[in-house]
């Protein structure tokens, strides 16, 4: 029996049709993946289901009753959406967050009572949870568990998760999936949006694929493969195999020597030694929050370490500004597109020349608009930035295409050394392939590249050498072929540490 039946849903934003006669049907008690390229219309469809957006056409039936919902009636009907940016109050405890907004107003609830309730709810579904801990003291994976428990406490029996694994570590992903399977056993229904096809294969019963706003396929997971799913999403074959690795003997272009950085309230960096040679990709693996941001900051000149040295092209640049380093051939692609990367409210062309607009090719201080336009058109073509004209607002592009704008901007300046943080987070398989091809081509052209990524598949596909960052230290650094996925996982959890001699080799 289906619990959700959306039929002929159409949603237009101006002249863009985000959902075009979409049919989406979910059976009671199944785990259902909703797949599609960036911009295919997945989030829009779920927002329509929740009454956060009004469709232009179409009908919705939830649990046999037809009619559009509002966010309030959606909750009453047992729907819950677990957002990627958690909506929890950090200074409060787990139990307080779960019960918050739901406690009987005039009754004074004792701490012990609500903690007891939450503990028994967690036990009922087999979730690991300590109700008395403050949210701010919990890792992200556990915070997400709190969001799910909160939905269950509120009586939800249909859970919708929009890219829930993007910020989780591999063990946290396993735990989440274990929990979702338990919910299925308890008769709950789960809809999950993800770009990771392995996850879809491992978790879901059925899959719906959207392409360019239309439903293209509904499949039993058992009867498909990641290759077929990718082909249906993107409309062509996608390569998943690793690029060839090399042992570069070319000169060292970027180096950290015994760098330590104290970061307030954060892990910081401790005695970090790193080298990146021309013609190689060094992958820095690690669970987010182990010093990744600090590492990028020190490398590009957004933070000055307390000790140690940063060497770029044989010159010490430890105290030099980012701008100075960029003019000496460093390129930087930050992890958060909208924080330090792109400027919201600017056009694609403006974003493509951002930080480089003083260059003579753009007219120096008086901007040469025709030259900028031609430059932007060239990059839009070369990088296949979909849905973009030079004067399109950056905000209108989907996540993957915004990411391509950032890459194009930096790569167009032909830097010798490139630091890229989380190159493909939230990006679809087609765009990942294109981005990886660009990065590999840069390496082939002799550039020195450092990639910081929490995605093991990405690290293993691209890197020549892999270093692991754990609690602010490089705990191991080896050639790619000397790593297994299992060892890498252990090392990322701090359970496999190479000796200092090996590391600084
Ligand atoms: N409020 C809005 N105004 C204008 N266009 C929008 C709006 N919301 C979404 N769009 C556009 O609608 C299309 C579908 O967007 P949606 O966010 O549903 O995609 P998605 O499948 O969730 O993609 P992603 O995987 O990148 O999250 C995109 O082209 C997007 O730019
Ligand atoms: Mg989305």
DSSP string spanning 194-219? -S-HHHHHHH-SEEEEEETTEEEEEE
CA 259 – CA 269 distance, rounded (Å) = 7
- CA nearest neighbour of 420 among 311, 283, 322, 315: 283
- Return the residue whose CA atom lies nearest to atom 8 of ligand 1: 44
**CA of 345 relative to ligand 2 center, distance in Å:** 20
Within 13 Å of residue 264, how many CA atoms lie on the same side as its CB? 0
Residue 229 contacts by C-beta under 8 Å, 6 or more apart in sequence?
Answer: 35, 197, 200, 201, 207, 209, 219
- Displacement of CA 196 from its chain's centroid (Å): 10
8 Å CB contact between 429 and 456: no
pLDDT in tens, the chain (505 residues): 899 999 999 999 988 899 999 999 999 999 999 999 988 999 999 999 999 999 999 999 999 999 999 999 999 999 999 876 677 888 889 998 888 766 555 455 677 788 998 999 999 888 888 899 998 888 777 888 899 999 999 889 999 999 888 777 778 888 899 999 999 999 999 999 999 999 999 999 999 999 999 999 999 999 999 999 999 999 999 988 999 999 999 999 999 999 999 876 678 999 999 999 999 999 999 888 889 989 999 999 999 999 999 999 999 999 999 999 999 999 999 887 777 789 999 999 999 998 777 777 777 777 788 899 999 999 999 988 988 999 999 988 887 889 899 999 999 989 999 999 999 888 889 989 999 999 999 999 999 999 999 888 999 999 999 999 999 999 999 999 999 988 888 898 888 888 664 454 4
Domain ranges of the chain: 2-234, 249-329+418-505
How many CB atoms are located within 10 Å of the residue 393 CB? 14
- Do the domains 249-329+418-505 and 2-234 match in fold? yes
Question: Which-ligand-closest: CA of 36?
Answer: 1
CA 211 – CA 73 distance, rounded (Å) = 29
**DSSP strand pairing (448-453 vs 280-285):** parallel
Span 249-329+418-505: which CATH code?
A: 3.40.50.300
**CA of 239 relative to ligand 1 center, distance in Å:** 26
CA dist list (Å): 459 to 25, 282, 349, 483, 503: 36, 9, 31, 11, 18
Give me the residues near ligand 2 (ion), CB cutoff below 5 Å: 43
How many CB atoms are located within 10 Å of the residue 68 CB? 15
Task: State the distance between the two ends of the chain, measured CA to CA, in whole angstroms.
Answer: 61
Name residues contacting ligand 1 (CB within 6 A): 13, 16, 18, 36, 38-44, 387, 396, 398-400, 428
How many CB atoms are located within 10 Å of the residue 197 CB? 22
- Return the residue whose CA atom lies nearest to atom 5 of ligand 1: 13
DSSP state of 134: B
Pocket test for ligand 1, best of 11, 37, 40 (most atoms within 8 A of CB): 40
What are the tokens at 168? Answer: 């989780």
pTM score, whole prediction: 0.85
**CA of 83 relative to ligand 1 center, distance in Å:** 16
Pocket test for ligand 1, best of 20, 43, 192 (most atoms within 8 A of CB): 43
CATH topology of domain 2-234: Rossmann fold (3.40.50)
**CA of 431 relative to ligand 2 center, distance in Å:** 15
């Amino acid at each position: 029996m289906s619990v959700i039946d959306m039929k002929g849903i159409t949603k237009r934003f101006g002249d863009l049709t985000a959902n075009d006669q979409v049919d989406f049907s979910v059976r009671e008690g199944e785990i259902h993946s909703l797949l599609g390229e960036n911009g295919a219309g997945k989030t829009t469809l779920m927002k329509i289901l929740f009454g956060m957006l009004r469709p232009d056409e179409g009908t919705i039936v939830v649990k046999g009753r037809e009619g559009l919902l509002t966010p309030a009636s959606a909750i009453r009907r047992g729907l819950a959406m677990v957002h990627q940016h958690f909506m929890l109050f950090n200074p409060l405890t787990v139990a307080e967050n779960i019960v918050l907004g739901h406690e009987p107003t005039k009754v004074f609830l004792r701490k012990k009572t609500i903690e007891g309730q939450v503990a028994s709810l967690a036990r009922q579904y087999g979730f690991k949870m300590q109700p008395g801990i403050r949210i701010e003291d919990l890792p992200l994976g556990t915070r997400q568990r709190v969001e799910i428990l909160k939905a269950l406490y509120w009586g939800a029996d249909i859970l919708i998760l929009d890219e829930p694994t993007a910020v989780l570590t591999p063990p946290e992903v396993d735990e989440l999936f274990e929990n979702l399977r338990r919910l299925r056993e308890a008769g709950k229904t789960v809809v999950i949006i993800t770009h990771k096809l392995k996850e879809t294969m491992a978790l879901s019963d059925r899959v719906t694929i959207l392409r360019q706003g239309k439903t293209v396929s509904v499949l039993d997971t058992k009867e498909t493969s990641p290759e077929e799913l990718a082909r249906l999403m993107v409309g062509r074959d996608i390569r998943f195999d690793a690029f060839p690795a090399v042992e570069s003997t070319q000169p060292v272009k970027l180096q950290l020597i015994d760098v330590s950085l104290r970061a307030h309230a954060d892990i910081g960096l401790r005695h970090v030694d790193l080298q990146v040679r021309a013609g190689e990709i060094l992958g820095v693996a690690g669970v987010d929050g182990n010093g990744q941001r600090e590492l990028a900051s020190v490398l590009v000149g957004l933070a000055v370490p307390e000790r140690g040295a940063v060497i770029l092209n044989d010159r010490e640049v430890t105290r030099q500004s980012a701008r100075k380093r960029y003019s000496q051939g460093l390129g930087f692609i930050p992890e958060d597109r909208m924080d330090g990367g792109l400027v919201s409210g600017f056009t694609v062309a403006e974003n493509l020349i951002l930080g480089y607009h003083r260059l003579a090719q753009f007219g120096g201080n008086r901007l040469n608009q025709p030259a900028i336009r031609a430059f932007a058109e060239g990059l839009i073509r070369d990088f296949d930035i979909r849905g973009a004209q030079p004067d399109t607002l950056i905000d209108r592009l989907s996540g993957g295409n915004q990411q391509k704008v950032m890459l194009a901007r930096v790569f167009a300046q032909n830097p010798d050394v490139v630091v890229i943080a989380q190159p493909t987070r939230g990006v679809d398989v087609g765009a990942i392939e294109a981005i990886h091809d660009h990065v590999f081509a840069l390496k082939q052209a002799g550039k020195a590249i450092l990639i910081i990524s929490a995605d093991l598949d990405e690290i293993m596909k691209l890197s020549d050498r892999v270093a692991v960052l754990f609690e602010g230290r490089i705990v191991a650094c080896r050639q790619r072929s000397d790593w297994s996925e299992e060892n890498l996982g252990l090392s990322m959890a701090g359970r496999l540490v190479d000796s200092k001699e090996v590391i600084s080799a």
